[in-house]
Structure 1
Amino acid sequence: MLSWAPYPFVRVALSFIAGILLYLFAGKDFQYSTEVLAFFVLLYLVGFLLSKRRKQRFITDVAGVLGLLSFVALGLWTTHLHTEKHQPQHLLHLSGQPNYYQGVVDDYVLQKPGYQSTVLKVEQVLVSGAWQKVSGKVQLSVPHDSERPYELNYGDVLLIKGAPQKVSPPLNPAQFDYQQYLANKSIYHRHYLQAYQYEKVASEPANPLLYASIQLRRNLDALLRAHVGEKREYSISSALLLGVKDELDNAIRETYASTGTMHVLAVSGLHVGLIYLLLMLVLRRFGSSKAQRLLGAGIVLAALWLYAFVTGLTPSVLRAVVMFSLVTVGLAIQRRTNIYNTVAIAAVALLLLNPYNLLEVGFQLSFLAVLGIVYLQPRFYNLLEVDNWLLDKVWAYFTVAVAAQIATLPLGLFYFHQFPAYFWLANLVVVPLATFVLWSGIAALAFVWVPMLGALLFQVHYWLLWGMNEFNFWVQQLSASLLQGIDITLLQTILLYLLLFALVFFLALKKLRFLSLAVVIVAILSVQEIKETVQQKNQELLALYQVRGSTGMALVQGQQATVLSDSILLLDRDNYTFNIQPHLWQLGVHEPKQVSLPGNAANAVSEAALTVLPDSNQVLVWQGIRLLLLSRPPQLKARQSLNLDYVLLRQNVRLKPEDLQGYTTATVLLDASSAPWYRRRLHQALDTLGLAYYDVADSGAFVLKVR
């Protein structure tokens, strides 16, 4: 039977996480978390005192349960405390629109093509001629067209003209919810600035330690840029060593994601673990006396926290540094540490600092990967005994990769909708290479001041990076290297983890009830999949998507689809991937046909026809729906009113709104290929004429279900 006695901190962590989830999913409007916490703490103290006096097992058990409920209440209270929008002075509660606002740059400055992005902590706003103090954060985007490497710095105090806008919800079905992503970081507003809209008035870094860390990271990044040379290798080096991903292009990101080695590019537990491994190899003789153990522990802790400082004190690094610090202290004082308790302490510490870390994908994946490696890897490794030293190391790396992949698989499918088939092969080579890339990079930066040695180390570092990149590109080209379009719901993700736990418990405890539970879960998943497939095979719908600067439309019939789009969207793969592809995957469509506008969609989808008119406009007829697409001034005059269902106005088409009255029963559709000023003008004209219209750019995708 599974015993909880050796895992007290695991119980505490699970209770604390339960409180956070209770608040996030059911208690966001609950205002009495302080009273609830005080109530359960008081009950626990009473139960604890009674258990000490009565010495009865029942009372002791009740006191233990009350203690765990106190941690549930602590999770509830902590999350409420960190939910900034409840503050009365928050930006969300302003009575009027600000003319100006002032705040301090409170985050890293990220490089993007043509602009830079950061977070401004707002301090005061000018409303109706009076300044008033406020709280809240705004995501800023500022143009970057000067010779300076950074337009803004952490700690800059900015005076900004205008008002920040609330972050919009996703405007396309199944699209990544960027509004919720920012809300998890307590950011509810954003502002796209022009160069004339802001002015730096002072510099007041709120955290001098973080400011020094950012400046050091920028200086080290400049050294890498100067000595690594090639942009591709430099971008990998900067991401792997310092966590600076500004220069990573989408091709590199896609390659590493396709091979299951994206974790190499995110400074996290892997990198901290590799540094810890190197330190332990160097200091392995520091163990014969208590003084030596303490000295060795001090060196390890100093090195780990120095690395966290160099990489900007990012949450992903702090998670790992806290865990390895606890392990180091335990070894120094010769206390047997339970790794599960260590992981639990690290999780609680980080969630106390910010309970919204629980919603971070990196937080979830890193802790699941650690737990998978700790529990599953030794069991996989013991399945095969290898006498050869080299093959034994290969087998160990293989089992680590498999254990981490199994532990994170359901969550990876839920978030990323893909599975890298050759993750085991890629990790066998890339992780050892990344180890030497990391060590050589650190050595090169440490000895850059030594003329010959520094140059040699940077050369070694470069060629290791080149080899790692080339190998990843080769793996990506292998047949069926990436399985894409896997769409599962949150419920199915939970069921997959329950299935994994049931199988693990069955193999560990040899109890048939766990195997029975696994069979039941598989049956539920199978019924869900069959039901979903039947629905998809019978579906018919037309979708007009919100795609900035472009037209994107899908005709879906069963599990096949045709995407009608202009040439701008066809050339911008990222735009298509972000706005349209998730919805098609959700509908079970994996390889839609692409038709460029203007074009001919006859036979692209059964019973569909797209005809180009003499004036270069198009008429689409599909499943009884008649849609006129106007991108040129209409020049054809019909003898009688045309009976259309919809008229789509594209690309700022010049026409008189009165002309639209000639199309009987037609609803006017506007998409984001037209400019905002054009759409606003048309709104007024269409309202005046009493014509029905739908603006995709404002209201989100137009989805018409035919069946």
Structure 2
Amino acid sequence: MKYPIYPITFSYVSGIFCSLYTGLSLQFALIFGAIALLLFGFFILMQYNKGFHKNYNFFTLIAVCNLFIALGFVFHRLANKKIEVQQLNESEFSVKTIRVLKSNTYSHRIYADLVSHPQQPTVLVTFSNKQKTPKVGEVYKIVGSIKEVPYPRNPYDFDYKNYLKQKNIHYQIASYYPAVLIGKEHSVISKIADFRSLLMEQFSKMGYADQTKGFVEALLFGVKNNLDTNLQNQFKDFGIMHILAVSGLHVFILFSTLNYVLKQMRVPAKLIVLVLVLFLIMFSFMAGLAGSVVRASLMCILVLFGTVFERRVITYNILASSMLLILLVAPNYLFDIGFQLSYAAVFSIVFCFPVIQRFFTFNNPIINYFTQLIGISLVAQLGILPISVYYFNQVPILFLLGNLIAVPIATALLTSWFSQLIVSFIWLKFASYGTIVLEFVSNLCFNTLAKLNTLFPMKAFDVHFSSLQAITAFLFVMSVFWYFQNKQNRKILLSMCLLISFQLASIQKVYRNNSTSELVLVADRTNVVFLNRSGTCIAQIGNASPIAQSSIKNYLLHNGIKQKKTDSLCNSFTINNNSWLIIDSLAVYPSKKVDYLVLHQNAKVNIERLIAYTQPKQVILHSSNYGYLNEEYAAYLKKIKIPCHDMRNKGSFNINYNSDNN
């Protein structure tokens, strides 16, 4: 084939999905891969002995694709092999910090290796923030509790358990006490993190305000721990969060700047390549190996190698090759949102922008810069829109305005700050002279966005795509641009098929929403709240707290429900022929049989007498109860074999009337 990297990459990605969504064993994949490898060797020998034949070539390609399907399956399964922690009753742990997350109001948060466990699984650790922020490589003694990362508390809430699972993190350790620092392990990663901290401390010496300093850290190093929350929300409203994340844009800017400076200094070409490769590797580590940075750095390195070996550089080959190389090392990157958005944006720019480029090209260089920026922003947004709608349920309205303001300023600031950082190590006082100007420019950007933010009350509108809708929408957009590259009837047919597929996926979603009937007891820390749904008609029974109200909003959006009515909650009521009884802290209840019993607000009752009087089919222990009460009640209910649902551990309680299964 002219471009064999495409089917190979597609096959490898298919193998990862097979590992994730099928129940096939690792042994089966190994046998399958061994057979594919033997067939590959057989067809190669056949071609070597009997000369080229198209049938041999076809079967050789099939064997290679099957081999990479097996590799994708095996690599993903090995990367996600769960290390079981049996002793969940332990209370003292030793952990080694491998990544520092943003602290919240009460706690520091880190990813850490559990070094007190023989296999050292990676865990999420939270502990009191009454001490300085931890650093990568530091080893702590933690006193707390360990448990599995919980499932989402309500339907369609952010699935943090699955998010951590893709990082092969299955357990979390929580402590209300400060951690005790017992040492530090020096490794390549910790030294790189220390070097990044040194660079960030250098900016502190140049007199920047806290807001600007947090912006610098996010822009240059991908560290958002000190990023101003209001500023972050403004960038989110304008759909330009990619500027705050160290991305391919930043890599390309710094790469181009450094390349230009080295050429102006008449540095030998091969030395320039070496310097640029080392810079890209170092910058990737400094940015925490973010998917978009790794992708951009790897693409630049492949271009450099192609230049050195005098090979023709084909962008699509580089995209596919960089994706394959990244996923060979870290298969879970495939499910990283930043990784997906990064590749979708770059592919859209490379594939779609040449089609419309002539409409955004002008002779005036200043006008041409902004019109090209508009064109690139449009095609990039078209490419990532189905993915961002699938994950974030929003379509930004002001993304074009935000890009026109922020991208030029951020480009200028990025190169200036990078240059200032280098100069500061040579002459700090001289470098500090630029702080006043750069602080003014950054504040100008912040203030402009803030003023525009007040002028446009509506920044986005809510919409939800299923995974099938997102895939077909993306492919449809690409097929339309493919048609205009070279107009052919078969491409029109492909576009129409994809459009029909999108419509069928939408119809299927509407049919599912209209035919679903269920009752949801929402997981709320304080209140008892029911959602009684019949198709797209829904009634909320009881008042929800602000956090639970956000979960209800997600529920309505995902199920296409535009309106709901709110009813008051009684302690005893009947819904869909099922009787419910809610017992609160007053512990007052009638002596009658019920189908479902809810214990709420730390209801301290004689559980044996209560069960004897009410004879429920199932008992729900509400999230508002103390943990020890729910454990006591759950132990007794298990003993007498009455089904129990502990909302503190399991989240919301659902009854699906279509299947009569809870």
Q: With structure 2 as the length reference, what TM-score do the two structures score? A: 0.87
**2:114 paired with 1:122:** yes
SS of 2:433's equivalent?
A: helix
Task: State how 1:495-510 maps to structure 2 within 5 Å.
Answer: 495-510=472-487
Q: Hey, what's the Cα distance between the residues in 1 that align with 2:423 and 2:584?
A: 62
2:53 and 2:339 mapped to 1: Cα distance? Answer: 38
Contact kept, 8 Å, 2:352 with 2:478, in 1: the verdict is: no
- Give the letter for the 2:103 counterpart: Q
Instruction: Map 1:175-190; keep pairs closer than 5 Å.
Output: 175-190=157-172
One-letter amino acid of the structure 1 residue matched with residue 185 of structure 2: E
1:47 match? 43
- The answer for unaligned runs of 5 or more in structure 2 is none
Structure 1 unmatched ranges of 5 or more: 126-132, 593-603, 612-617
1:333-359 per-position Cα deviation (integer Å, ceiling 9, x unaligned):
543211111222221221121111112
One of 73, 76, 91 as aligned partner of 2:73: 76
3-state SS of 1:383 partner = helix
Shift, 1:538, TM fit? 6.6
Amino acid at match of 2:600: R
How many angstroms does 1:398 deviate by? 0.9
Q: Which letter does structure 2 place at the counterpart of 1:18?
A: S
1:11-410 aligned at under 5 Å gives the runs 11-26=7-22, 29-58=25-54, 59-85=56-82, 90-91=83-84, 94=86, 102-108=94-100, 110-125=102-117, 133-146=118-131, 148=132, 150=133, 152-160=134-142, 164-195=146-177, 199-205=180-186, 208-224=187-203, 227=206, 229-248=208-227, 251-283=230-262, 285=264, 292-410=268-386
Report the Cα offset of residue 70 of structure 1. 2.8
The 2-side partners of 1:202 and 1:565 are apart by 52
Identify the match of residue 500 of structure 2 among 510, 523, 540.
523
| 1:504 to 1:693, Cα distance in 2 relative to 1, 3 A | same
Give the C-alpha shift of residue 110 in structure 1: 4.1
How far does the alpha carbon of each residue in 1:428-461 deviate from its partner, in whole angstroms, 9 at most, with x for none?
2211111122123223333346455433322333
Please state whether the residue corresponding to 1:106 is helix, strand or coil. Answer: strand
Asked whether the 8 Å contact 2:250–2:414 carries over to 1, the reply is: yes
Task: Confirm whether residue 546 of structure 1 aligns to residue 546 of structure 2.
Answer: no
| Secondary structure, counterpart of 1:447 in structure 2 | helix
Provide the secondary structure at the position in 1 that maps to 2:151. Answer: coil
Paired with 2:360 and 2:104, the residues of 1 have a C-alpha distance of: 48
1:596 aligns with none
**Partner residue in 2 for 1:601:** none
Confirm whether residue 588 of structure 1 aligns to residue 548 of structure 2: no
In the aligned structure 2, how far is the partner of 1:250 from the partner of 1:666?
Answer: 47
Determine helix, strand or coil for the equivalent of 1:382. Answer: helix
Within 1, Cα distance between the matches of 2:322 and 2:378? 24
Question: Could you state the TM-score of these two structures normalised by the residue count of structure 1?
Answer: 0.82
SS at match of 1:47: helix
What is residue 130 of structure 1 aligned with on the other side?
none
2:461 to 475, 483, 497: 483
Which residue in 2 is equivalent to 1:669?
620
Q: Which amino acid aligns with 2:498?
A: I
Secondary structure at 2:77's aligned position in 1? Answer: helix
Q: Aligned partners of 2:512, 2:74: CA distance in 1, in Å? A: 43
Residue by residue over 1:377-414, the C-alpha shift from the partner in whole angstroms, topping out at 9 and shown as x without a partner, is 22221234423322211111011111211222221111
- Give the whole-Å Cα distance in 2 for the aligned partners of 1:64 and 1:216: 46
Q: Hey, what does 1:615 align to over in structure 2? A: none
In structure 2, do the counterparts of structure 1 residues 653 and 461 end up closer, same or farther at CA, with 3 Å as the change threshold? farther
Query: 1: distance between equivalents of 2:202 and 2:538?
Result: 50
CA deviation vs aligned residue, 1:296-351 (integer Å, no higher than 9, x gap): 33343343334334334444422221111222333355432111112222212211
Structure 1 Cα separation of the partners of residues 302 and 290 of structure 2: 18
* Counterpart amino acid of residue 83 in structure 1: N
**Partner SS, residue 322 of structure 1:** helix
CA distance in 2, matches of 1:251, 1:629: 41
Shift of 1:371: 1.1
Matched AA of 2:48: K
Structure 1 residue 674 displacement after superposition: 1.9
Deviations 1:244-273 (A, max 9, x none): 112346544443233210111111211101
**Equivalent residue number for residue 6 of structure 2:** 10
Task: Tell me the alpha carbon deviations over residues 132-158 of structure 1, each in whole angstroms, 9 at most, x when there is no partner.
Answer: x33422221122112x2x2x4322344
Amino acid at match of 1:388: N
For residues 365 and 621 of structure 2, what CA distance do their matches in structure 1 show? 66
Retained in 2: the 8 A contact 1:112–1:246?
A: no
Cα pair distance change 1:691/1:248, threshold 3 Å: same
- The letter for the 1-side match of 2:249 is L
Identify if the C-alpha distance between structure 1 residues 560 and 390 changes in structure 2 by more than 3 Å, giving closer, same or farther: farther
Q: Matched residues in 2 for 1:550 and 1:336: separation?
A: 65
Q: Secondary structure at the match of 1:694?
A: strand
| Identity, % of aligned positions | 22
| SS of residue paired to 1:44 | helix
C-alpha distance in structure 1 between counterparts of 2:439 and 2:6, whole Å: 43
Please say if residues 213 and 312 of structure 1, whose CA atoms lie closer than 8 Å, have aligned partners that are also in contact. no
Structure 1 residues 333 and 536: alpha-carbon distance in aligned structure 2, compared to 1, 3 A threshold:
closer
Amino acid at match of 1:91: E
Please state whether the residue corresponding to 2:225 is helix, strand or coil. coil
Aligned position for 1:694: 645
- Cα 1:251–1:676 change in 2 (3 A) is farther
Q: Give the distance between the partners of 2:245 and 2:269, measured in 1 at CA.
A: 31
Between the aligned partners of 1:76 and 1:555, the Cα distance in structure 2 is 42
| 1:414–1:490 CA contact under 8 A, matched in 2 | yes
The corresponding residue for 1:650 is 600
Q: Does 1:512 pair with 2:497?
A: no
Q: Is the 8 A contact 1:559 1:589 kept in 2?
A: yes
Q: Distance in 2 between matches of 1:414 and 1:471?
A: 30
What secondary structure sits across from 1:400 in the alignment? helix
CA RMSD of aligned residues (A): 3.4
Structure 1 residues 515, 476: CA separation in 2 closer, same or farther (over 3 Å shift)?
Answer: farther
Distance 1:642 1:96, change over 3 A: closer
Residues 610, 312 of structure 1: alpha-carbon distance in 2 compared, 3 angstrom cutoff: closer
| Aligned counterparts of 2:249 and 2:534: Cα–Cα separation in 1 | 45
CA distance in 1, matches of 2:246, 2:501: 38
Q: Answer yes or no: is the 8 Å Cα contact 1:286–1:296 preserved in 2.
A: no
Q: Is the deviation greater in 439-448 or in 641-650?
A: 641-650
| SS at structure 2 position matched to 1:176 | coil
Change (3 A) 1:590 1:247: farther
How many angstroms does 1:534 deviate by?
5.4
Does the 8 Å contact 2:482/2:491 carry over to 1? Answer: yes
Quick one: distance in 1 between partners of 2:110 and 2:500? Answer: 47
Residues 50-94 of structure 1 show CA distances to partners (whole Å, capped at 9, x for unaligned) of 213322322233323323333333323333332333xxxx335x4
Indicate how the Cα distance of structure 1 residues 671 and 284 shifts in structure 2: closer, same or farther if over 3 A, else same. Answer: same
